Structure 1
Amino acid sequence: MGLRNNQYRWVVLFAATLAQACACFFVQGFGAIALDVKNAMGLDNWQVGMLVSAAQLVPMIGLLVAGELLDRFDERFVVGIGTLIVGGSLCVAALVNSYTELLIILVILGFGYSTAQPGGSKSVSNWFEGGQLGFAMGIRQAGLPLGGAMAILLLPFIAVEYSVQAAFLAGGLVALVGALLFMLLYRSPGLSPCSPKEQIDLRDIIQSRLSMVTEPSMKNIMVSGACLTAAQYAISVFLVLYLHTALGLDSFMATMMFFLVLGSGIVGRISLAAWSDRCKAGRYYPVMTCLGAVTALLILLPLVKGLDLATLSIFMAVTGFFVYGWYGPWVAYVAETAPADRKGFALGMAMTANQVSVILTPPLVGLLRDVFGTYNYGWGVLAVASAVVLFTTSRRYQTMKPQST
């Protein structure tokens, strides 16, 4: 890689991180205005969870399509156009007052949101390799909690001072700016001439792609990613509501605690990913560490009632570090283990497994809260799942290690 390319890759990293933050701004910050949306539209907890799931429904298939597109076309346009769809959808959402209409618009938003995760990850992995891959991926993936942290500072203020619809509009404008900047700044490394894609049989494509599911590393990737995503989205959607209703914190203090979680998550994504570059036990070991930490934190979460604010703040910081930080080393492991010609699809397939959790977790946790009157059952289910996944993936990882040495 030439000197100019070596320097420009940091511009690409900045553009990819900014695009990630802007695309995820509203979706990740929704939890901060969940109480406002709930009150303004007269919703219950299950319906609030469904709003989040609506935006994540299309990516169940869209991530696979986006991954294939990324293997065939320039990331600039795949990611840029997708983020433009996110921005446009949120701007339209600002014009509606019906819950059903809002659900439909958020489903449309999901078409664009499908490109945000695999697209930016592939863009960065094309420019960084070897010892710096985890560090770069960690910075890029910090865009998600960074976007959420920005949203926490802005969206509640906008929702209270103006309206919930104004908050949707703000989220749309942020996404549009991110899309335009990414399309302006990003370019491919250009390390080698691009060869035209061969015309191959659709059946061969499907068999080639889906055969990756049987690989031990991909099994670990998909199961651990889905489990940790479930914990992350449960915290993202319901933490503010939990702190407000169960612990008695006022809305401002509960929101600030969530801000602390996301801020710590930014540090976690970068530092855990950087650790994965140097971890002698392998890049997947930090992911297993996060599974163990998340299990313990979810068990302790129902016990934080009565803690003073200083101790609660420390607990929230540790929670954010692991509940959000896992994604940095995880996505670096995906990019490192995937074949070069199928990297986009591998990222899309791994993130599709995550989408199952994104769709199912918020309504499930909300339903458990509505039925039993407490969030503790939801935290407990997620803790048990994390413990089971840690046990099964660690055993599989131990059998893989001799093959990789």
Structure 2
Amino acid sequence: MIKAVPGWLEPIVAIFVLQTTSSFLARFIPIIAPAVSEEFGWGGSSIGYLTAANSLGGLAILVGGSALLKQVGGMRTLQLSLVLGSASMAFFLNSSLGIALAACFVMGLSNGAANPAGSEVLQRYSPPGKRNLIFSIKQAGVPLGGVIAGLIIPAMVVPAGWRIALLVCALLVLVPTLATWRISARLDETPSSERWRFSMPNLQSLHQLRVPLQSLLDNPGLLKMSIVGSLFAISQTCWFTFTVIYLIDALGFSLGLAGVVFAVMQAGGVIGRIALGWLSDHMGSATASLSVAAILSATTTVLLGLSNPEWPIWTIIVLAFVAGCSAASWNGVQIAEVARRSPPDLISETSAGSSILVNVVNMLVPTAFAAFVAFSGRYDYAFGFAGACTLLVLIFLPRERE
């Protein structure tokens, strides 16, 4: 007799596909930017600013898009932002850095919508005993998108040029988005058609901008867990944003080899996120698993800054893999903990509030990192400081009962 398909399977597959697509759109920037900036003469530090603009787009929809998420639905909002992001990639054909920054801002909208959309849907469909694992599987889509970007984009840029790669990447975002279009109508919780409407911004809507952050103050553990996410994000965004350009500029790697190392790091993130989610459920403690991830994340980030051209390539690959398993593996457990500690009717708001803190870090850290390296030329100090900041996770991690 054929067993019935679990009710949570369709939601997690749909959210996983959209999460992977959103991540691919974000990881596209630091991988293709070296080729674009070289042709247009933007300079290596522009990668940090483009990434910051992408994070600013995510921050904008987290702060101002809560009403859209409620009325249109989380999955539909994510899908619409992916369509816009795919279209905005065409603006990279213009040589203006300002236009590229605006395009990155639009592309970042999907990154901001992904966590609230996924948290709201999965919290309703996840079995309690598998919540950390399911959230971690969903978050494994983030590094998987990076794996795809790291392997595919350099493989297209080298023989065909970055413009052809741009077109293919736009299609790779658009196709899975449209493939999941009908599913959102069944999974999203939206108001009835009689009450569904948009309204022009007013004082009341401006007041709603405070709701995501205000919702984190419901209990101390919720706020601490959100701060933990922002501290983890410091090392993660440095790895995601600067690995390729660092390997090319400081270690003399080709774009293709740097892309492979980036893909290995992201593959470590896929394995690490699922393993950390399983470990947290098995131990019944998110605090213990996140403590291990914080120590490994800080160590690998410092070691990346200390690396030099004399290091064998295999040591860089191993370091990148371990970093993926730690610096890029915390998200699923942290997001699941935020959802678990949230009042049931405020899950999308608390998820958005926590993501706002992470996106602020993702916006400020690449900018500061790029400016520091441009001024001092010292990658080692920049990576070292990022690793030290991540160790603060051990101080802010809440107790299980808090």
Same fold (TM over 0.5): yes
- Is 2:274 aligned against 1:270? yes
- Is 2:84 aligned against 1:85? yes
Aligned to 1:9: 8
Q: Deviations over 1:162-212 (max 9, x none)?
A: 332333322222221122122223454699x989989xx769867765443
- Out of 279, 286, 290, the position equivalent to 2:289 is 286
TM superposition score normalised by structure 2: 0.88
Aligned to 1:48: 47
In 2, the alpha carbon distance for the partners of 1:76 and 1:210 equals 22
- Is 2:311 aligned against 1:307? yes
Aligned to 2:32: 33
The change in CA–CA distance for 1:390 and 1:41 in structure 2 (over 3 A counts) is farther
- Per mean C-alpha deviation after superposition, the further-off stretch among 219-228 and 165-174 is 165-174
- After superposition, where does 1:246-261 map in structure 2 within 5 Å? 246-261=250-265
- Per mean C-alpha deviation after superposition, the further-off stretch among 128-137 and 271-280 is 271-280
Q: Secondary structure at the match of 2:286?
A: coil
Matching residue's letter, 1:262: Q
- Residues 86 and 113 of structure 1 are in contact (CA less than 8 Å); yes or no, is this contact kept in structure 2? no
In 2, the alpha carbon distance for the partners of 1:284 and 1:304 equals 31
Which stretches in structure 1 are left out of the alignment for 5+ residues? none
- Out of 119, 140, 143, the position equivalent to 1:142 is 140
- After superposition, where does 1:1-400 map in structure 2 within 5 Å? 7-90=6-89, 92-186=90-184, 188=186, 210-214=213-217, 215-280=219-284, 282-305=285-308, 306-391=310-395, 393-394=396-397, 397-398=398-399
Q: Deviations over 1:133-155 (max 9, x none)?
A: 11111111111111111111111
In 1, the alpha carbon distance for the partners of 2:374 and 2:121 equals 42
Q: Secondary structure at the match of 1:31?
A: helix
Q: Deviations over 1:346-398 (max 9, x none)?
A: 1111101111111111121112211122211211221221123422x14xx24
- Residues 63 and 212 of structure 2 are in contact (CA less than 8 Å); yes or no, is this contact kept in structure 1? no
Matching residue's letter, 1:64: V
- Per mean C-alpha deviation after superposition, the further-off stretch among 215-224 and 322-331 is 215-224
In 1, the alpha carbon distance for the partners of 2:274 and 2:183 equals 22
In 1, the alpha carbon distance for the partners of 2:349 and 2:178 equals 25
In 2, the alpha carbon distance for the partners of 1:294 and 1:381 equals 12
In 1, the alpha carbon distance for the partners of 2:148 and 2:363 equals 24
In 1, the alpha carbon distance for the partners of 2:246 and 2:210 equals 45
In 2, the alpha carbon distance for the partners of 1:389 and 1:265 equals 19
Matching residue's letter, 2:60: I
- Percent identity, aligned pairs only? 22
- Residues 68 and 344 of structure 1 are in contact (CA less than 8 Å); yes or no, is this contact kept in structure 2? no
The change in CA–CA distance for 1:313 and 1:279 in structure 2 (over 3 A counts) is same
- Residues 32 and 155 of structure 1 are in contact (CA less than 8 Å); yes or no, is this contact kept in structure 2? yes
- Residues 55 and 108 of structure 2 are in contact (CA less than 8 Å); yes or no, is this contact kept in structure 1? yes
The change in CA–CA distance for 1:210 and 1:228 in structure 2 (over 3 A counts) is closer
The change in CA–CA distance for 1:169 and 1:277 in structure 2 (over 3 A counts) is same
The change in CA–CA distance for 1:126 and 1:99 in structure 2 (over 3 A counts) is same
Matching residue's letter, 1:375: Y
- Residues 22 and 177 of structure 1 are in contact (CA less than 8 Å); yes or no, is this contact kept in structure 2? no
In 1, the alpha carbon distance for the partners of 2:96 and 2:157 equals 17
- Give RMSD over aligned pairs: 2.9
In 2, the alpha carbon distance for the partners of 1:208 and 1:33 equals 36
TM superposition score normalised by structure 1: 0.87
Q: Secondary structure at the match of 1:183?
A: coil
The change in CA–CA distance for 1:157 and 1:147 in structure 2 (over 3 A counts) is same
Aligned residue pairs: how many? Answer: 392
In 1, the alpha carbon distance for the partners of 2:188 and 2:49 equals 43
In 1, the alpha carbon distance for the partners of 2:212 and 2:107 equals 26
The change in CA–CA distance for 1:209 and 1:257 in structure 2 (over 3 A counts) is closer
In 1, the alpha carbon distance for the partners of 2:216 and 2:391 equals 22
Matching residue's letter, 1:235: W
Q: Secondary structure at the match of 1:114?
A: helix
